[in-house]
A and B are shown apart, each in its own frame.
Chain A
């Protein structure tokens, strides 16, 4: 089942912050975050595995809630290079799916000078 991302699009000025959410109706094994620029391949940002986990580096971080049904990606002090489409990819709990991901519909982030 496809996770739901919100918002669908965000427009920012450099230096502003944004939050992108990814929700599932079922508990997840993991959540992956990727950024894709137009005409390019998705680039891995981070994975969250544990309920309550938060990780990331200075300006891009993410959280995974205790029930493991929702994740949020936090972009702080945005830069022009952050522009692109952000996808969450979710792996379901249980089974032997070898990490196959179902991607959300994407959030288009545009950062203006």
Chain B
């Protein structure tokens, strides 16, 4: 089945140690999104790509970077994770944008020691 796959499901890292989360899709969608979701809160958009066109949210910390080497893959890099970065990170895709549904992966739960 076509889907959005996130790896790993659970990631534990040390304070300040760089970490990379990955997302792949078999839907061939143009748009890929990264969200951060903390406990009992709404998903918060960090950035999104339309093809290779990168769009960063104004309040996304500089600590967070993203790469999209091709249509299928997108990565979230956290350069120096702090305790406040512990959260669920959700990747989503959409065919073209606002008139299309977003398809979410199962998420990566990041813990910081």
Report the tally of A-B residue pairs with Cβ distances under 8 A.
66
Listed by A's residue number, 16 A-B pairs whose Cβ atoms lie within 8 Å are A29-B98, A40-B106, A42-B43, A42-B90, A42-B104, A44-B102, A47-B100, A47-B101, A91-B97, A91-B98, A97-B98, A98-B48, A98-B94, A98-B97, A99-B99, A102-B45
Which residue of the partner chain A has the closest CB to B30?
A98
Q: Which residues of chain B have a CB within 8 Å of any CB of chain A?
A: 31, 33, 40-45, 48, 50, 53, 55, 90, 94, 96-107
Contact B97 A97 (CB under 8 A): yes
Enumerate the 4 nearest inter-chain pairs by beta-carbon distance, A residue then B residue, closest first.
A99-B97, A99-B98, A103-B42, A91-B98
CB of A61 within 8 Å of the partner chain: no
Residue numbers in A under 8 Å from B97 (CB-CB): 91, 97-99
Q: Which residues of chain A have a CB within 8 Å of any CB of chain B?
A: 2, 29-30, 32, 40-44, 47, 49, 87, 89, 91, 97-106
Residue numbers in B under 8 Å from A99 (CB-CB): 31, 94, 96-100, 102
